[in-house]
């Protein structure tokens, strides 16, 4: 395994330090989440890239499979994976095709310079379905094509995929981002429906198609509805859809998607900014989740595809925004905040050409540069969240105010007792600033017990890429086949005196305290 220099450059002056206090509630606070499933942290895979993540039955992708297994090994719970996206919505299924996946427009399929790349017409063969048997300890939310408007082919695809998945199927999801079916523009040749397409048209299709497909499915609701895009706005909403007659009998969950920033935007301004995260998430989901809890409490709300940022028109991947330590810190803050909003689960997006992906499973070309299979920054935020969840029972999460504009805290309660505290310092600091790295001394009061164990998610600066990031002194890399390797020792055990302990956190860093 390659050795990396993880040391921070020596700075002669003392770093600026400030203080803050968090009074830890002994009992579960009123702003805490509902009881959470240990499978709260899910993943999502762009359909075009599925076989790259799994490999084949004869040649499985060991790096990728070990990365998937990381989450099960930590929580002991099955990982929910949403398999779909724009590419899947453009699938045609041919069980007689020898190749796993083909397209008549490879130059578009391999490009992320416009939505046309994702809209390229793909044909998949039966061997594409092999991946459903390769990843263990998984429940699938499996998307079926709606955009191509070929019901008979979708029924065939559903039947054959169910034969492979069996009990590992959670839901079939019909279509992807139907709110954009009429919005991409005829000049690109990718309109999926006419300009007049509205929720009532989607509901008519959904009800007809799910009724037809359900004839081949086990009894009970087995569909995930809507899968609305990051840009969903009135009239596209759960309330509009159910008012139009969306089938409650066949709908197990509803889903929407979320990307907070866009390539080229400010890391500090959009991701490492708790107020922005809260504002955007509230505006996007709060009313919609509350509507579902009020009107359809038996149908959970899932954020079925999510990541730090979308690309932009240049097509140039922004690794600083989407794949850095700062991205990992946003991942922690955002996922824990969604718990308090009442989402059932989030699925963090993977794709071979997405810098926001937790890892790239194979060597690939981005911006005309060959990039090896590698771990990316957001993975470390995901594994931090998995560690906070752990194998705890009746888990609830609450946000703690710190009194510091850059530090956000969350507490995890198991069976009503505080077990873990997450602290995230979202102040962006870079080595290029040529100033000492700031830190905050957080005084935690109201604690019970004699000590806390402190694990760190850290790196040389907020823009550090995955090869310089460590979680609990460990790294997961392609060189280690996705298995954790200890590269430093920075876990601390601190004494609790009189119910109080002081913890120092650096700018652009996160700490997980086990109480």
Q: What is the pLDDT of residue 185?
A: 43
Mean pLDDT, residues 165-176 taken together: 96
Q: Is the peptide bond before 235 cis (omega within 30 degrees of 0)?
A: yes
Q: Which runs of consecutive H residues, i.e. helices, occur in 36-146?
A: 50-54, 62-75, 86-89, 106-109, 116-119, 131-134
Cα–Cα distance measured from residue 194 to residue 216, given in angstroms and rounded to the nearest whole number: 30
In degrees and rounded to multiples of 5, residue 185 shows phi and psi of 100, 130
Would you tell me how many other CB atoms lie within 10 Å of the CB of residue 89? 26
Report the share of the chain in percent with pLDDT over 90.
Answer: 84
Closest CA to 198 of 235, 229, 227, 149: 235
Q: In the predicted model, what is the mean pLDDT of the chain?
A: 92
Structure tokens belonging to residue 113: 């310079």
In the predicted structure, residue 12 carries a pLDDT above the cut 90: no
With bands split at pLDDT 50, 70 and 90, how would you rate the model's confidence at 189?
low
Structure tokens belonging to residue 109: 């399929």
Q: Which runs of consecutive H residues, i.e. helices, occur in 139-248?
A: 151-165, 199-214, 238-243
Q: Which of 174-188, 265-279, 360-374 has the highest mean pLDDT?
A: 265-279
Q: What is the pLDDT of residue 11?
A: 47
In the predicted structure, residue 8 carries a pLDDT above the cut 60: no
Cα–Cα distance measured from residue 474 to residue 207, given in angstroms and rounded to the nearest whole number: 48
Residue linked to tokens 């995260």: 277
In the predicted structure, residue 13 carries a pLDDT above the cut 70: no
In the predicted structure, residue 165 carries a pLDDT above the cut 80: yes
pLDDT tens, residue by residue, 111-149: 443 344 677 789 999 999 999 999 999 999 999 999 999
Q: What is the pLDDT of residue 402?
A: 85
Would you tell me how many other CB atoms lie within 10 Å of the CB of residue 439? 19
With bands split at pLDDT 50, 70 and 90, how would you rate the model's confidence at 187?
very low
Report the share of the chain in percent with pLDDT over 70.
Answer: 92
Q: Which of 17-21, 112-116, 317-321 has the highest mean pLDDT?
A: 317-321
Contact 332, 510 (CB under 8 A): yes
Contact 455, 511 (CB under 8 A): yes
pTM above 0.85, yes or no: yes
In the predicted structure, residue 184 carries a pLDDT above the cut 60: no
Cα–Cα distance measured from residue 477 to residue 471, given in angstroms and rounded to the nearest whole number: 12
Cα–Cα distance measured from residue 379 to residue 257, given in angstroms and rounded to the nearest whole number: 19
Cα–Cα distance measured from residue 278 to residue 297, given in angstroms and rounded to the nearest whole number: 24
pLDDT tens, residue by residue, 342-359: 999 999 999 998 999 999
Would you tell me how many other CB atoms lie within 10 Å of the CB of residue 497? 11
Cα–Cα distance measured from residue 102 to residue 112, given in angstroms and rounded to the nearest whole number: 17
3-state secondary structure 375-436: ECCHHHHHHHHHHHHCCCCCEEEEEECCCCCCEEEEEEEECCEEEEEEEEECCCCCHHHCCC
With bands split at pLDDT 50, 70 and 90, how would you rate the model's confidence at 373?
very high
Cα–Cα distance measured from residue 354 to residue 31, given in angstroms and rounded to the nearest whole number: 35
Structure tokens belonging to residue 116: 């046309």
């Amino acid at each position: 395994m390659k050795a990396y220099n993880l040391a921070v450059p020596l700075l002669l002056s003392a770093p600026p330090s400030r203080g803050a206090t968090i009074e830890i509630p002994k009992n579960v606070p009123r702003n805490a989440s509902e009881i959470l499933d240990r499978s709260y942290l899910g993943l999502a895979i762009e359909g075009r890239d599925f076989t790259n993540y799994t490999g084949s039955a004869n040649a499985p992708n060991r790096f990728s499979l070990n990365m998937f297994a990381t989450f099960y090994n930590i929580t002991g719970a099955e990982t929910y994976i949403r398999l779909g996206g724009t590419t899947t919505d453009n699938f045609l299924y041919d069980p007689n095709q020898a190749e796993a996946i083909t397209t008549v427009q490879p130059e578009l399929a391999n490009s992320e310079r416009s939505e046309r790349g994702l809209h390229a017409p793909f044909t998949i063969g039966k061997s594409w379905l092999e991946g459903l048997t390769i990843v263990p300890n998984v429940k699938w939310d499996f998307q079926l094509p709606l955009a191509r408007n070929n019901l008979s082919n979708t029924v065939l695809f559903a039947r054959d995929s169910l034969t492979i998945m069996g009990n590992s199927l959670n839901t079939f999801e019909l279509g992807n981002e139907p709110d954009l079916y009429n919005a991409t523009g005829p000049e690109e040749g990718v309109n999926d429906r006419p300009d007049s397409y509205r929720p009532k048209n989607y509901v008519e299709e959904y009800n007809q198609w799910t009724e037809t497909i359900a004839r081949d499915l086990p009894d009970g609701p087995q569909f995930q509805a809507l899968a609305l895009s990051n840009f969903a706005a009135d009239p596209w909403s759960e309330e509009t859809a159910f008012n139009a007659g969306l089938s409650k009998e066949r709908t197990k969950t509803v889903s929407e998607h979320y990307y907070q920033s866009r390539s080229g935007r400010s890391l500090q301004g959009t991701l490492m900014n708790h107020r922005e995260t809260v504002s955007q998430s509230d505006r996007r989901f709060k009313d919609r989740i509350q509507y579902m809890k009020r009107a359809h409490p038996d149908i959970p709300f899932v954020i079925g595809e999510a990541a730090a940022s979308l690309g932009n028109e240049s097509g140039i991947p922004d690794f600083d925004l989407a794949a850095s330590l700062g991205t990992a810190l946003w991942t922690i803050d955002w996922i824990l905040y969604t718990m308090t909003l009442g989402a059932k689960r989030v699925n963090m997006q993977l794709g071979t050409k997405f810098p926001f992906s937790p890892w790239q499973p194979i060597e690939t070309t981005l911006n005309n540069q060959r990039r090896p299979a590698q771990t990316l920054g957001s993975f470390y935020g995901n594994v931090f969240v998995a560690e906070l969840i752990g194998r705890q029972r009746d888990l609830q999460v609450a946000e703690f105010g710190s009194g510091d504009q850059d530090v956000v805290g969350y507490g995890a309660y198991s069976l009503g007792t505080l077990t873990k505290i997450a602290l995230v310092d979202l102040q962006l600091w870079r080595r290029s600033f040529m100033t000492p790295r700031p830190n905050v001394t957080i005084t935690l009061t109201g604690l019970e017990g004699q000590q806390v164990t402190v694990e760190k998610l850290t790196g040389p600066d907020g823009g550090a890429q995955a090869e310089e990031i460590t979680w609990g002194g460990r790294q997961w890399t392609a060189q280690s086949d996705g298995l954790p390797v200890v590269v430093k020792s920075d876990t601390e055990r601190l004494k609790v005196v009189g119910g109080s302990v002081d913890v120092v956190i650096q700018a652009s860093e996160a700490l997980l305290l086990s109480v």
